[in-house]
Amino acid sequence: MSAKASLSKSFPIVHLRFDNTGSFQITQDVISSSRATRLISDNGRFLKVSFPTTLKDNFVRQLLADKIKSGITIGSKKYIFFGYTESQLKESRVLFFQEREDWTVHSLKAAFGDLNSVYRLHGYGKYAARLGLSFSSTDPSLEVGLEERYLLDDLIANDGSDCSDGCGMIRDSFAKQVCSTIGASEDTCVFQIRLGGIKGLFVRYKDEDFDHICGSAGAKVAYRRSMFKYEGGPSTLEVRDINRPPRSARLSIQFIVLLMTLGISFEVFESLLRKQLDDLEQIMVNRQKAMDCVGGELDSEGKDFDQELSEMLLAGFDLNEGHLACLLKQFQKRSLDALRTKLHIRVKDSAYLFGVVDELGILEEGQIYINRPYQGGPQVGTFVVGRNPAYSPGDLRRLEAVNIPELSHLTNCVVFAGKGGYSEPNQMGGGDLDGDRYLIIKDPDLVPDPEEIRRPKLKSDPTPSDDASSNAYASLSQMNKDAVNVFMNLRGSRLLGQMSNAWMSQVGKTEELADQAYCAGLVPLIEKALDIAKTGEDIESVKKEFYALKTLRHAPRSDHWRDPIEQLQSLVPNPPGDSQDDFQCDPDLILEGIAPREDWDRCIAEGRRSMGAFNQALHRAITSDKKNKGTHL
């Protein structure tokens, strides 16, 4: 089965949704193919339960505690509380499970691995994150026994940061077998994986290099302590994602503001935006412009929404053909909406790439290696490199791409040095190499001058709260109680959203941009909130720091200053209307006057009902796909 087919596979399950009044409705939802769904034969045994973030906390707490105690009965089926993953926590959702003789909640979790030790040592927040490994959308490949795994030392920089955090190796001969099993391109070199309690990236190296580094001819893969999350679990190597030829990247409001803070002029972004707007304006009448615009949006798998549009353009359909014209209008509208709301400005010499480490130890501090076979091969020159989310000017790094023939097999990824004064990925908002994608931009107009780049940040580790530390001796009998407490503290990611929105609303108000005191003060709080479930930070103390910052919010604005983000957004016109009054239908398709009137009316009525039902089903499917793409259940 191909990776593409499996990773897109999903199964219907029951979804119980509470509304703002506390009433609920039962709907259908989907669950992605994962370790959990492959272990059981009937995926309908899972039940999602959603609580709106607007529902009062006291009500949600009591309701959740009651359901955990008594279970949920729907018809003849009784569902028992299973838990929630970190992504479900952010969505204010929990998971229940229908027990039978073959699988109980306890036995299924035991099959995932020793998750109980995670709870005992770190509390329920990190437990939820590790539970999510078994609900990641993955593709099963081949078995890897304990004797076929090698433990590598992490590559530590001079400041103590980890240059190899989350990144391991896979031998070339075994990688070929994995590619064949999952239907991936045979030259795939980066695999985002799950292997029992191991998660991160396996990067492909020649057998002789693998043996030299690992000193083990019997190992198929090599992992690091930073990749090891818990003992046990299935021995099947599961592939969550692979590297592919990327499309051109898009800027965002955050990246634009940070680049401006580092000295890139407003006029550079204005020019890029006007060029993209001019191209979009011409797509209805200029085939080449249409192909350029649409082609820049396609992914390498050919499963993008715009794939049909691209194929029709390549096939030479007349631009006035009804269906093609409709697709072009939809593309134009969607593109303009993205520019107006998010400033997704296209940059040609750019991409989002998996970050990996140089296992051969060739790259020096400040160097990277990038080989894009379809974009000129190995890249040489100065790049600006960043990672989402980004809120500090220091999150953007100026790095030098060099050509290293020994690394030429590593394509469509960005290779960072494994040595030096500090870990470059860690400088970018605490990034790592377990699956993070990094924005690379070569356009010289967008690369800040060296003197504008901020000094490397000192390494700091999050300090767990007293509550999290006390969980080191937590009893499993308290697990459900802790599950409720963590859920109520963190559900819906409301604090992170509030801080991010506060940064966005303030950052363009003064000439200091991201350097103004309020925005700079928000950065460490946002970084804490991003991983607060795993680290055990006290959310109440973070809230207090956030509210205390508000005294800095209203910085004086110069009379001549205009918010550059608002200026750019004001350049984006409203899309043309959606009216298709001028649509000319093929006369052979008009059956009115040929069919009996009553048959005609019946068909029209049936068509209206069918289209309404189809549109609703399509909307639910698209919404579900968006939620499941790149996230856990």
| CA 135 vs CA 36, 115, 432: distances in Å | 6, 14, 21
Q: What is the mean pLDDT of the chain?
A: 89
Could you tell me where the beta strands, DSSP code E, fall in 84-230?
93-97, 139-143, 149-152, 167-171, 190-195, 198-205, 221-224
* Res. 601 pLDDT band, cuts 50 70 90: confident
Say how far apart CA 322 and CA 327 lie, in whole Å: 9
Are residue 209 and residue 281 in the same domain, yes or no?
no
273 inside domain: yes
Of 315, 347, 379, the residue that ends a domain is: 347
- Kindly report, residue by residue over 44-78, the tens digit of the pLDDT: 899 999 999 889 999 999 999 999 999 999 989 99
- Kindly report, residue by residue over 479-527, the tens digit of the pLDDT: 999 999 999 999 987 899 899 999 999 999 999 999 999 999 999 999 9
42 inside domain: yes
- Which pLDDT score, from 0 to 100, does residue 545 have? 93
Instruction: Please give the DSSP secondary-structure letter assigned to residue 454.
Output: P
Above 70 in pLDDT, residue 275?
A: yes
Above 70 in pLDDT, residue 91?
A: yes
**The sheet that has 77-83: what strands, in order across it?**
24-32, 10-18, 46-50, 93-97, 77-83, 72-74
* Res. 559 pLDDT band, cuts 50 70 90: confident
- Which pLDDT score, from 0 to 100, does residue 569 have? 96
Above 80 in pLDDT, residue 302?
A: no
Tell me the Ramachandran region of residue 216: left when phi exceeds 0, alpha when psi lies from -120 to 50, beta otherwise.
beta
Say how far apart CA 533 and CA 86 lie, in whole Å: 7
- Which pLDDT score, from 0 to 100, does residue 11 have? 82
Are residue 214 and residue 254 in the same domain, yes or no?
no
Above 50 in pLDDT, residue 197?
A: yes
- Which pLDDT score, from 0 to 100, does residue 474 have? 57
522 inside domain: yes
| CA 85 vs CA 79, 383, 427, 631: distances in Å | 17, 36, 27, 10
Average pLDDT (344-363) is 96
> Which candidate, 368, 362, 400, 364, places its Cα nearest to that of 381?
400
- Kindly report, residue by residue over 423-459, the tens digit of the pLDDT: 999 999 889 999 999 999 999 999 999 999 999 887 6
Of 242, 272, 294, the residue that ends a domain is: 242
Q: Beta strand 149-152 with 221-224: parallel, antiparallel or unpaired?
A: parallel
Above 60 in pLDDT, residue 471?
A: no
Say how far apart CA 64 and CA 49 lie, in whole Å: 10
Are residue 27 and residue 96 in the same domain, yes or no?
yes
* Res. 80 pLDDT band, cuts 50 70 90: very high
For residue 36, the one-letter residue type is A
Buried b (16+ CB within 10 A) or exposed e, 588-614: eeeeeeeeeeeeeeeeeeeeeeeeeee
| Domain region containing 313 | 249-347
How much of the chain, in percent, has pLDDT values that exceed 90?
A: 69
Are residue 156 and residue 66 in the same domain, yes or no?
no
Per-residue tokens: 566 = 């608002």
Task: State the pTM of this model.
Answer: 0.86
Q: Which long-range contacts (CB under 8 A, 24 or more apart) does 271-276 make?
A: 272/345, 272/346, 272/347, 273/339, 273/343, 273/345, 273/568, 273/571, 273/572, 274/571, 276/339, 276/345, 276/346
Above 80 in pLDDT, residue 553?
A: no
Instruction: Please give the DSSP secondary-structure letter assigned to residue 398.
Output: E
- Which pLDDT score, from 0 to 100, does residue 30 have? 84
SS3 for 140? Answer: strand
Above 80 in pLDDT, residue 631?
A: no
With a CB cutoff of 8 Å and minimum separation 6, the contacts of 386 are: 255, 258, 395, 396, 397, 428, 438, 439
* Lowest mean pLDDT across 51-65, 224-238, 397-411: 51-65
Cβ–Cβ under 8 Å, residues 299 and 480: no
Are residue 210 and residue 179 in the same domain, yes or no?
yes
Are residue 90 and residue 189 in the same domain, yes or no?
no
Per-residue tokens: 79 = 């569902």
CATH number at residue 169: 2.40.40
Burial of 107 (0-12, 13-18, 19+ CB in 10 A): exposed
450 inside domain: no
* Res. 299 pLDDT band, cuts 50 70 90: low
SS3 for 13? Answer: strand
365 inside domain: no
311 inside domain: yes
- Which pLDDT score, from 0 to 100, does residue 444 have? 96
Of 242, 270, 305, the residue that ends a domain is: 242
398 inside domain: no
- Kindly report, residue by residue over 93-145, the tens digit of the pLDDT: 999 999 999 999 999 999 999 999 999 999 999 999 999 999 999 999 999 99
Cβ–Cβ under 8 Å, residues 398 and 444: no
Say how far residue 279 (Cα) sits from the centre of its chain.
29
Above 80 in pLDDT, residue 466?
A: no
Are residue 189 and residue 293 in the same domain, yes or no?
no
Above 70 in pLDDT, residue 536?
A: yes
- Which pLDDT score, from 0 to 100, does residue 574 have? 86
532 inside domain: yes
The C-alpha angle 360, 364, 368, rounded to 5 degrees, equals 85
* Res. 19 pLDDT band, cuts 50 70 90: confident
* Number of separate domains in the chain: 4
